[in-house]
């Protein structure tokens, strides 16, 4: 898989960009805030329909966008992708709704200074699509300094990482996950309603009204847990191998799945991976735990059992890296995870993802930086790499990458081509 062309309009600090992306990839260098990370962000946005760093889509729209034309602020990103099954084009357009209420009294007509509603329009090969129909058309793996939060941050960050990884290789998963999240919201609303109305957890009508939501929670949630379990098992084995090569095998890396549905039978089941069989094991345990948590859920007004409470742990020889690991160990664990993600996506989908490396030189010592560059060359990965200091990437290193300087959202090729 290769990204062959990237077009940006009013995206972050890019007013206009139309770039043919070389098959091997790019090395972008320049000062901080010049647009290097925004370039990677645009590619990741096209792959997943989500930004890896923006809280809301409005942040992706360039300041002053639309003013020259007298129209609401907007942004547009287009990526052309060469896949094994042919060419594809993903387009995502954002536009601020000028009629939506602003959350700041200082907002102007274009929505600047306010968090106005932003409309998102997604197209695949020129036809309007939902986000879930487009995710994975372009497959990417992003490694950035912020990825240390995978070991140090909240469970929400790790669930988001896991969901985006699986969504790029399994379109059914993202549909099930979206449906499950809606069920959780509706079930929580119903639990709060019971408490507000003074209906006790033992009332027959409460049990009857919850029965449908429980059934859907278990049906959808059991699939999600079983699918995550399978992916994590595969990812853990790949990451263990990658970490062993990074560190010459001095410590054993493991990825531990801490599911919101406790299932000893699932954890202990070995042999060939059987999604349907594991799904049934989870469903059985899921039902029992909902029954036991019924009163707690009623008191707190939230669903306490299910994959929305999942987490991951990264361990070295059984010791939690997030809690006890050094910063250097945490960096190498995340790097091994990202390299394993490349292997996983390639194994599961038959497509090699585009590798996005955001200022990797700041997070890696020379030996491990060399390991990454050797991996890029050996595996023939299309790579988009950013750097503030080219001293870490002399001309003989990654010679196939076209080198561009980035300055104020504009790219200029080093060799003048």
**Size of the chain in residues:** 417
Residue 255: closest CA among 277, 285, 225, 233: 233
Q: What is the pLDDT of residue 272?
A: 63
Q: What is the pLDDT of residue 89?
A: 97
The per-residue DSSP string of 146-176 comes to GGGHHHHS-HHHHHHHHHHHHHTT-HHHHHH
How far, CA to CA in Å, does 277 sit from each of 264, 274, 280?
Answer: 14, 5, 5
20 DSSP β-pair partners: 5
How far, CA to CA in Å, does 316 sit from each of 159, 161, 330, 389?
Answer: 20, 20, 10, 32
95 DSSP β-pair partners: 74, 119
Query: Buried b / exposed e across 68-82, counting CB within 10 Å, b at 16+?
Result: eeeebbbbbbbbbbe
Query: Buried b / exposed e across 119-158, counting CB within 10 Å, b at 16+?
Result: eeebeeeeeebeebbbbbbbbbbbbbeebbbbbeeeeebb
Q: What is the pLDDT of residue 250?
A: 78
Q: What is the pLDDT of residue 117?
A: 81
* Residue 234 and residue 227 in contact, taking contact as beta carbons nearer than 8 Å: no
How far apart CA 33 and CA 16 sit, in angstroms, is 17
Q: What is the pLDDT of residue 108?
A: 41
How far apart CA 142 and CA 18 sit, in angstroms, is 22
**Strand locations in 50-117, DSSP E?**
74-83, 86-96
The per-residue DSSP string of 114-149 comes to S---EEEEEEETTEE--HHHHTTSS-EEEE-GGGGH
* Residue 365 and residue 335 in contact, taking contact as beta carbons nearer than 8 Å: no
Q: What is the pLDDT of residue 253?
A: 95
How far apart CA 215 and CA 180 sit, in angstroms, is 11
Query: Buried b / exposed e across 297-322, counting CB within 10 Å, b at 16+?
Result: bbeeeebbbbbbbbbbbbbbeeeebb
The 3-state DSSP class for residue 356 equals strand
Residue 49: closest CA among 139, 159, 135, 144: 135
* Residue 144 and residue 52 in contact, taking contact as beta carbons nearer than 8 Å: yes
How far, CA to CA in Å, does 157 sit from each of 42, 80, 152, 242, 315?
Answer: 20, 29, 9, 22, 17
pTM of the model: 0.90
How far apart CA 99 and CA 74 sit, in angstroms, is 14
Per-residue pLDDT for the chain (417 aa), expressed as one digit of tens each? Answer: 999 999 999 999 999 999 999 999 999 999 888 899 999 999 999 999 999 988 899 999 998 887 777 788 899 999 999 999 999 999 999 998 777 665 543 344 444 444 568 899 999 999 999 999 999 999 999 999 899 999 999 999 999 999 999 999 999 999 999 999 999 999 999 999 988 888 877 788 888 889 999 999 999 999 999 999 999 999 999 999 999 988 887 789 999 999 999 988 787 776 566 888 889 999 999 999 999 998 899 889 999 999 999 999 999 999 999 999 999 899 999 999 999 999 999 999 999 999 999 988 777 777 887 888 888 888 889 999 998 888 778 777 788 899 999 998 899 998 644
Domains of the chain, with CATH numbers?
Answer: 2-139+351-413 (3.40.50.300), 170-315 (1.20.1050.90)
How far apart CA 380 and CA 65 sit, in angstroms, is 38
């Amino acid at each position: 898989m290769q990204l062959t062309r990237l077009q940006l309009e009013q995206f972050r600090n890019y007013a206009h960009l139309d770039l043919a992306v070389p098959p091997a990839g790019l090395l972008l260098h320049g000062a901080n805030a010049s647009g290097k990370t925004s370039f990677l962000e645009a590619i990741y946005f096209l792959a997943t329909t989500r930004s890896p760093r923006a809280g809301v889509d409005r942040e992706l729209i360039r300041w002053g966008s639309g003013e020259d034309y007298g129209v609401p602020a907007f942004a547009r990103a287009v990526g052309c992708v060469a896949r094994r099954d042919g060419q594809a084009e993903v387009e995502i357009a954002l536009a601020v709704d000028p009629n939506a209420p602003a959350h700041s009294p200082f907002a102007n007509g274009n929505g600047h200074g306010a968090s106005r509603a932003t409309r998102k329009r997604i197209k695949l090969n020129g036809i309007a699509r939902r986000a879930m129909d487009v995710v994975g058309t372009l497959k990417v793996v992003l490694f950035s300094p912020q990825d240390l939060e995978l070991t140090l941050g909240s469970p929400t960050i790790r669930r988001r990482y896991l969901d985006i990884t699986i969504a790029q290789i399994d379109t059914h998963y993202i549909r099930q996950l979206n449906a499950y999240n809606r069920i959780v919201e509706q079930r929580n609303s119903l639990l709060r309603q019971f408490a507000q109305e003074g209906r006790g957890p033992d009332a027959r009508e409460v049990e009857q009204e919850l029965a449908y939501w429980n059934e859907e929670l278990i049906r959808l949630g059991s699939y999600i847990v079983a699918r995550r379990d399978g992916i994590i098992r595969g990812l853990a084995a790949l990451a263990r191998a990658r970490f062993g090569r990074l560190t010459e095998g001095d410590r054993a890396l493991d990825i531990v799945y801490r599911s919101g549905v406790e299932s000893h039978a699932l954890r202990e089941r070995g042999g060939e991976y059987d999604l349907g069989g594991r799904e049934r094991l989870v469903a059985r345990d899921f039902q029992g735990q909902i029954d036991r948590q019924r009163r707690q859920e009623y008191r707190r007004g939230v669903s306490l059992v299910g994959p929305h409470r999942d987490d991951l742990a990264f361990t070295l020889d059984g010791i939690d890296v997030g809690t006890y690991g050094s910063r250097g160990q945490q960096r190498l664990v995340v790097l091994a995870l990202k390299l394993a993600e490349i292997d996983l996506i390639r194994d599961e989908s038959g497509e090699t993802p585009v590798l996005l490396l955001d200022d990797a030189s700041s997070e890696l010592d020379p030996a491990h930086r060399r390991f990454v560059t050797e991996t890029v060359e050996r595996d023939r990965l299309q790579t988009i790499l950013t750097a503030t200091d080219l001293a870490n990437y002399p001309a003989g290193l990654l010679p196939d990458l076209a080198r561009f300087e980035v300055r104020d959202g504009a790219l200029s090729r080093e060799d003048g081509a």
